[in-house]
Amino acid sequence: GAGVSQTPSNKVTEKGKYVELRCDPISGHTALYWYRQSLGQGPEFLIYFQGTGAADDSGLPNDRFFAVRPEGSVSTLKIQRTERGDSAVYLCASSLYAASSETQYFGPGTRLLVL
């Protein structure tokens, strides 16, 4: 079936604005992960969901970042009062189950630029 999809593919916003990034996981995958990748670095974990609940949000950098997955499928990452340092590629991944042995499949990412 289709892979992980993310929208928008690119987002340009101004400092202080609010943004929402969407992730549509592979159908049937119960676990969903958000990572952030800055230029020249590896992806860094933000938060992951098992079903509808956030199982681990220890990677969220501060309280401006929030994510939801109300129906256990699509997830939205929300960033309030954006700062220039938030500019990065936001990657979503999903896996069949939330287990440490499961492969995570990544979406194409949303490239966020905060001016």
Partner 1 sequence: GQQVMQIPQYQHVQEGEDFTTYCNSSTTLSNIQWYKQRPGGHPVFLIQLVKSGEVKKQKRLTFQFGEAKKNSSLHITATQTTDVGTYFCAGRWNNAGNMLTFGGGTRLMVKP
Q: Is 98 in the site for partner 1 (CB under 8 A)?
A: yes
Q: Considering the complex, what minimum distance in angstroms separates the CB of residue 110 from partner 1?
A: 11
Which 34-93 positions form the footprint of partner 1 (CB under 8 A)?
Answer: 35, 41-45, 48, 55-56, 58-59, 91
Q: Which is nearer to partner 1, 28 or 42 (CB)?
A: 42
Q: Is 96 in the site for partner 1 (CB under 8 A)?
A: no
Q: Which residues contact 88 (CB under 8 A, 6 or more apart)?
A: 36, 37, 38, 39, 112
Q: Please report, as ranges, the residues that interact with partner 1 according to CB under 8 A.
A: 31, 33, 35, 41-45, 48, 55-56, 58-59, 91, 95, 98-109
